[in-house]
Amino acid sequence: MNTVVRSTCPYCGVGCGVEARPAVNGGHEIIGDKQHPANFGRLCVKGAALGETLGLEGRLLYPEVDGERMTWNAALDETASRLQAIIDEFGPKAVAFYASGQLLTEDYYAANKLMKGFIGAANIDTNSRLCMSSAVVGYKRALGADFVPCSYEDLEQTDLVVLVGSNAAWAHPVLYQRLVQAKKLRPQMKVVVIDPRRTATSDIADLHLALRPGSDAGLFVGLLNYLLQQQPLMTDRFDGQSDATTLAAGWSLAKCADFCQLESAAVQTFWQWFASTDRAMTLYTMGINQSSSGSDKCNAIINVHLASDKIGRPGCGPFSLTGQPNAMGGREVGGLANQLACHMNFEPADIAKLGRFWGSERIAQTSGLMAVELFEAIARGDVKAVWIMGTNPAVSLPDSSRVAQALASCPLVIISDVVRNTDTSRFATVRFPAQAWGEKNGTVTNSERRISRQRGFLPSPGEARAEWWMISQIARRLGYAEAFSWQHAHEIFCEHAALSGYENNGSRAFDISGLAHLNLEQYDALEPVRWPVTTASTPAFKSWRSNGKFQLVPVEPELPEALADHRYPLILNTGRIRDQWHTMTRTGGVPRLMQHINMPLIDIHPHDAKRYGVTEGDLVRIASRQGGMVARVQVSDSQLPGNVFAPMHWNQQFSRRGLVNGLVAGVCDPHSGQPESKQTAVRIQRWQPAWRGEIFAREKIEFTDEVQWWRQTSHGVQHFVCAAENLPAAWAETLTAGRGWQLQYARGDGDFYHLLAWHNGELQLAFYAAKGWPDINTSAVVSAFESAPTTAASRHLLLAGKSAGVLRDAGATVCSCFGVGEKTILSAIATGCQSVGLLGEKLRCGTNCGSCIPELRALIAKAAK
Ligand SMILES: Nc1nc2c(c(=O)[nH]1)N[C@H]1C(S)=C(S)[C@@H](COP(=O)(O)OP(=O)(O)OC[C@H]3O[C@@H](n4cnc5c(=O)[nH]c(N)nc54)[C@H](O)[C@@H]3O)O[C@H]1N2
Ligand SMILES: Nc1nc2c(c(=O)[nH]1)N[C@H]1C(S)=C(S)[C@@H](COP(=O)(O)OP(=O)(O)OC[C@H]3O[C@@H](n4cnc5c(=O)[nH]c(N)nc54)[C@H](O)[C@@H]3O)O[C@H]1N2
Ligand code: SF4
Ligand SMILES: [Mo]
């Protein structure tokens, strides 16, 4: 395939359009699609690095059953017969699917149809439960439909943007840059950031409210009260009005400020700005949703927009930003266990409707198990088979040791993934190789309800297949051939579009029946389009509740269930870093994305650092009631005292004891079932290993249990940061003994231990250990594996972890687009580049995606101190 293929980025819910074109080196170059209305050509660093994720290393390429490679036919036969045996003996509720907002809509539709329509139970849930389910409850309660009433264009027309519980600068970078641009063009537009941490997002804030974790509802219920004092509502305008307003009346400025631990003046400023602007938007994500009262927080936000008429108009609205590329598509097809396809519910009329459309008398009658419950049911043995598609629950679900135990005890664990070895696939009985991004074909829907095509531009490697194909093959073997006879994703899309309009007549918000008759060519050429897409003209925004009214949901602000006490005195917040995606199966393999932050950091306020006796660079053990992890301390006044932050990404493929969800409890919101992933009570303890080091090796390294390690990603070499309590020499001996390698040592009185191992003039192993972190030039060591230094002097330099000066150590990468390191930036600042603009002119940093600009600014400030 030689032509340019237009597709959509597989990472976040911004849903940027990309163009893939063959590169001279035989790979593919990925650039932004200038015509795509989500990004107009812009990409963030993850999107721009997509071309570097297309290699086949680590890919799962063939079906396997019980660890043995099998043909597709044999694997499908065997899997279907095991599923059938479980259904026969224990009933349909003994099997479950656990899907993902990273599946394509067509795959998702097929999975939901098989489970809810034909197996006849509703045990299909998805990782969107951990992500968007509170937002869904919020919209459904207020508007009667899971309808996001905003678009990206609104950002260019609004007067006030409130970002709450969102670090969009890192998590939705292209959208954030659009906001930065909009503010530049219309400086009168104000930005409020509500987050207990000061983040890269707060860089453009006119007001940053660093509130007490989990207290957001207080701020918005108080705002409702403030709005109503200024302008009372007409009687009975909304359902729930009287209860909601009575509850809010108790939330005075003083009470709110106290509840949120904020200055009254700051709260008042926010409220004034909100009340006095004609157009305001509230953008919210995981700081709101991932909470034991997340649904109520979403409604507290929607309430103030309803009560002040800041919804359903340009530049207005409560805008839940979706996390995953197709979380929205999952919501459309009914991927959550408590909904049916195409915005239908478990109500007799909807069940009957679906039965007619699908030609099935086996439609599930009641909701199924939600993610956390589902894994509890697996642990109890009530669910005996689970098909996990495109998600890594052993890492991402709370209380991971319980999840691992559940999976270990489950008789049939089917996994469809693109990567062979993940924390979850360790428990697989059946592995199905899935097509990856660039190979698969279908549609995704972004945060603003825009449907875009993901198009394949690469051949499927090995025997990788589309998920919808696997699902239909299993369905046929379970006896449902007729309903699963699709030959192409296009047929599934059209069926889904037809169902969305089936007996709809304006009763369900999701309606794309206008696309039900696309032919294959039109489907392939489909331009990005926002739903609804119907032949009749429907109003874009209205209430879908049966009486046509919107609902104000009465909200009583609550604090998190996680409470600090004397044993666990700190609250741990978890979330994303700029250059990694979730459990790192894709981004973790790209060297330049690992160089920004190369191991789990725990951010801690200087007061707490002092209190717990830790300093920058120290290692700490973090413990909660659930479990423990190890991380490196980063002292930062961007944290509130009493609060620490750790990334969600590290797992057992990339570290020992780096799994943050080992700490988090499975406490969930009662309405949405979404876990409280943002608050966990923990304690920290300084861990003083005997040594810390870095090890580089040509071959796989065997770690002993005592060595704590974090995998690094460097081209052509195994590379780890590590630490241990016993002396480094003991472990080094186990690695080199009996290999016949020539060893070169440097030992300094127990202060440091360096070792190089050579074989036939080639470097086999390089190991640098020291009491503190060894100061070595990583690029010099990595390049010595490619071309070994030849002179005695240069080998000596290498033993010291240095090079002859050709390769300069640039420090941690700040600008990943152009690979510009911290040390390079600091020396440019020292020579006069005192602004982001000047740095950009000299080094190019910050001139592409712009995500590193807040960090550049911070470095300039740091240098000025
Ligand atoms: N780089 C990168 N980008 C991603 C992803 C990724 O893995 N990596 N994943 C994507 C996905 S699936 C998702 S869901 C989104 C998530 O996007 P975000 O929700 O923006 O990201 P998080 O880092 O999880 O959390 C956001 C912020 O919530 C704050 N927070 C914590 N507790 C509270 C609280 O009580 N109140 C308030 N107001 N704020 C709080 C945290 O300090 C954090 O800064 O990102 C998407 N984009
Ligand atoms: N503590 C804490 N925990 C969290 C969060 C948090 O903020 N804090 N955030 C939560 C949120 S919002 C989310 S969305 C989840 C995300 O958590 P997960 O969904 O578990 O994370 P991923 O790494 O995206 O998992 C995707 C899996 O699918 C595979 N994969 C990649 N591409 C394909 C493909 O094309 N087809 C198939 N079949 N497989 C593919 C990958 O190899 C990987 O194994 O984590 C949740 N967990
Ligand atoms: S902003 Fe999101 S969709 Fe756009 S390029 Fe970055 S990760 Fe991809
Ligand atoms: Mo997410």
| Ligand 3 and 46: CB distance under 6 A | yes
C-alpha 408, offset from chain centre: 25
d(CA 320, CA 274): 18
- Phi and psi for 703 in degrees, rounded to 5? -90, 140
CA atoms within 13 A on the CB side of 444: 30
Query: Given this model, what pLDDT does residue 803 score?
Result: 73
Does 181 share its domain with 272? yes
Q: Whose CA is nearest to atom 34 of ligand 2?
A: 436
Query: Given this model, what pLDDT does residue 817 score?
Result: 84
- Examine residue 248 and state whether it is found in any structural domain, yes or no: yes
d(CA 58, CA 587): 13
Does 184 share its domain with 104? no
Does 187 share its domain with 312? yes
Does 272 share its domain with 403? no
d(CA 33, CA 50): 14
DSSP 370-423: -HHHHHHHHHHTS--EEEEES--HHHHSSSHHHHHHHHHH-SEEEEEESBS--T
100, 576, 650, best to mutate for ligand 1 pocket (most atoms within 8 Å of CB) = 576
Ligand 3 atom at shortest distance from the alpha carbon of 32: 5
**Which region among 86-95, 154-163, 510-519, 807-816 has the lowest average model confidence (pLDDT)?**
807-816
| Ligand 1 and 328: CB distance under 6 A | no
Which residues constitute the domain of residue 852?
Answer: 813-864
User: Beta partners for 192?
Assistant: 162, 207
Provide the domain count of the chain. 6
E strands, 280-329, are 280-284, 317-320
Q: What is the mean pLDDT of residues 711-718?
A: 92
- Phi and psi for 123 in degrees, rounded to 5? -75, 60
- Domain boundary (687, 711, 738) is at 687
- Examine residue 627 and state whether it is found in any structural domain, yes or no: yes
Average pLDDT for the chain: 95
C-alpha 350, offset from chain centre: 32
CATH number at residue 644: 2.40.40.20
Cα dihedral 543/548/554/559 (nearest 10):
-20
- Rounded to the nearest angstrom, the distance between the alpha carbon of 158 and the centre of ligand 1 is 23
Q: What is the mean pLDDT of residues 706-727?
A: 93
102, 167, 174, 848, best to mutate for ligand 3 pocket (most atoms within 8 Å of CB) = 174
Q: Whose CA is nearest to atom 10 of ligand 2?
A: 130
Tokens of 154: 């609104």
Does 666 share its domain with 754? no
Residue type, 601: L
- Examine residue 520 and state whether it is found in any structural domain, yes or no: no
- Rounded to the nearest angstrom, the distance between the alpha carbon of 681 and the centre of ligand 2 is 24
pLDDT tens-digit profile of 129-170?
Answer: 999 999 999 999 999 999 999 999 999 999 999 999 999 999
- Examine residue 497 and state whether it is found in any structural domain, yes or no: no
User: Beta partners for 719?
Assistant: 696, 712
pLDDT band at residue 1, thresholds of 50, 70 and 90? Answer: very low
Element (H, E) at 476: helix 467-477
Q: Give the binding-site residues of ligand 2, using a 6 Å CB cut-off.
A: 100, 102, 127, 130-131, 286, 290, 323-324, 389-393, 395-396, 416-419, 422, 434, 436-437, 467, 574-575, 582-583, 585, 648, 660-661, 664, 677
Using CA atoms, how far residue 339 sits from 119, 298, 351, 761, in Å, is 16, 19, 11, 64
Report yes or no: 378 and 402 within 8 Å, Cβ to Cβ: no
Report yes or no: 121 and 95 within 8 Å, Cβ to Cβ: yes
- Rounded to the nearest angstrom, the distance between the alpha carbon of 593 and the centre of ligand 3 is 14
Does 121 share its domain with 147? no
Work out the angle at residue 816's Cα, subtended by the Cα atoms of residues 723 and 660, and round it to the nearest 5 degrees. 40
Using CA atoms, how far residue 151 sits from 37, 42, 186, 211, in Å, is 10, 17, 18, 28
Report yes or no: 124 and 97 within 8 Å, Cβ to Cβ: yes
Does 279 share its domain with 161? yes
CA-wise closest residue to 791 among 803, 808, 809: 803
| Ligand 3 and 63: CB distance under 6 A | no
Query: Given this model, what pLDDT does residue 46 score?
Result: 94
| 463 has pLDDT over 80 | yes
Report yes or no: 221 and 557 within 8 Å, Cβ to Cβ: yes
| Ligand 3 and 817: CB distance under 6 A | no
pLDDT tens-digit profile of 495-514?
Answer: 999 999 999 999 999 999 99
Report yes or no: 746 and 800 within 8 Å, Cβ to Cβ: yes
Ligand 2 atom at shortest distance from the alpha carbon of 396: 47
- Examine residue 213 and state whether it is found in any structural domain, yes or no: yes
Does 829 share its domain with 854? yes
Does 262 share its domain with 221? yes
d(CA 660, CA 651): 8
Does 147 share its domain with 293? yes
CA-wise closest residue to 652 among 581, 708, 718, 590: 708
857: Cβ–Cβ under 8 A, 6 or more apart, which residues?
A: 203, 836
Does 36 share its domain with 110? no
- Examine residue 372 and state whether it is found in any structural domain, yes or no: yes
Q: Whose CA is nearest to atom 2 of ligand 3?
A: 12
CATH number at residue 42: 3.30.200.210
- Rounded to the nearest angstrom, the distance between the alpha carbon of 164 and the centre of ligand 1 is 10
Tokens of 303: 């309430």
Q: What is the mean pLDDT of residues 403-427?
A: 98
- Examine residue 530 and state whether it is found in any structural domain, yes or no: no
128, 179, 195, best to mutate for ligand 1 pocket (most atoms within 8 Å of CB) = 195
Encode burial over 424-448: b for 16+ CB neighbours within 10 A, e otherwise. bbebbbbbbbbbbbbbbbbbbbbbb
| 806 has pLDDT over 60 | no
Ligand 2 atom at shortest distance from the alpha carbon of 424: 44
| Ligand 1 and 166: CB distance under 6 A | yes
| Ligand 3 and 14: CB distance under 6 A | yes
pLDDT band at residue 296, thresholds of 50, 70 and 90? Answer: very high
Report yes or no: 183 and 189 within 8 Å, Cβ to Cβ: yes
Report yes or no: 668 and 674 within 8 Å, Cβ to Cβ: yes
Q: What is the mean pLDDT of residues 427-451?
A: 98
Query: Given this model, what pLDDT does residue 793 score?
Result: 87
- Rounded to the nearest angstrom, the distance between the alpha carbon of 72 and the centre of ligand 2 is 25
7, 8, 9, 170, best to mutate for ligand 3 pocket (most atoms within 8 Å of CB) = 9
pLDDT tens-digit profile of 358-379?
Answer: 999 999 999 999 999 999 999 9
| Alpha-helical segments (H) within 91-158 | 105-112, 133-143
- Rounded to the nearest angstrom, the distance between the alpha carbon of 755 and the centre of ligand 4 is 43
- Examine residue 526 and state whether it is found in any structural domain, yes or no: no
Query: Given this model, what pLDDT does residue 850 score?
Result: 86
- Rounded to the nearest angstrom, the distance between the alpha carbon of 539 and the centre of ligand 2 is 35
Does 678 share its domain with 733? no
3-state helix, strand, coil in the chain (%, to 5): 35, 20, 45
Q: Whose CA is nearest to atom 22 of ligand 1?
A: 575
Q: Whose CA is nearest to atom 3 of ligand 1?
A: 171
- Rounded to the nearest angstrom, the distance between the alpha carbon of 323 and the centre of ligand 1 is 8
pLDDT tens-digit profile of 171-226?
Answer: 999 999 999 999 999 999 999 999 999 999 999 999 999 999 999 999 999 999 99
Q: Whose CA is nearest to atom 39 of ligand 2?
A: 390
Ligand 2 atom at shortest distance from the alpha carbon of 397: 47
Query: Given this model, what pLDDT does residue 729 score?
Result: 87
Query: Given this model, what pLDDT does residue 10 score?
Result: 97
Using CA atoms, how far residue 507 sits from 202, 233, 350, 503, 548, in Å, is 40, 27, 11, 9, 10
Work out the angle at residue 765's Cα, subtended by the Cα atoms of residues 764 and 771, and round it to the nearest 5 degrees. 170
| 800 has pLDDT over 50 | yes
- Phi and psi for 850 in degrees, rounded to 5? 85, 0
CATH number at residue 402: 3.40.50.740
- Rounded to the nearest angstrom, the distance between the alpha carbon of 126 and the centre of ligand 1 is 18
d(CA 598, CA 584): 12
Q: What is the mean pLDDT of residues 35-61?
A: 95
Which ligand has the shortest distance to the CA of 171?
1
Percent of the chain whose predicted confidence (pLDDT) is above 90: 87
d(CA 768, CA 745): 10
Query: Given this model, what pLDDT does residue 810 score?
Result: 76
| Ligand 3 and 16: CB distance under 6 A | yes
d(CA 779, CA 800): 13
- Rounded to the nearest angstrom, the distance between the alpha carbon of 582 and the centre of ligand 3 is 14
Work out the angle at residue 12's Cα, subtended by the Cα atoms of residues 110 and 507, and round it to the nearest 5 degrees. 50
- Rounded to the nearest angstrom, the distance between the alpha carbon of 440 and the centre of ligand 3 is 18
Ligand 2 atom at shortest distance from the alpha carbon of 678: 8
8, 130, 374, 659, best to mutate for ligand 2 pocket (most atoms within 8 Å of CB) = 130
CATH number at residue 826: 1.10.10.1100
- Rounded to the nearest angstrom, the distance between the alpha carbon of 431 and the centre of ligand 4 is 24
- Rounded to the nearest angstrom, the distance between the alpha carbon of 223 and the centre of ligand 4 is 28
CATH number at residue 309: 3.40.228.10
| Ligand 1 and 285: CB distance under 6 A | yes
- Rounded to the nearest angstrom, the distance between the alpha carbon of 321 and the centre of ligand 4 is 10
Query: Given this model, what pLDDT does residue 816 score?
Result: 83
Work out the angle at residue 572's Cα, subtended by the Cα atoms of residues 566 and 574, and round it to the nearest 5 degrees. 170
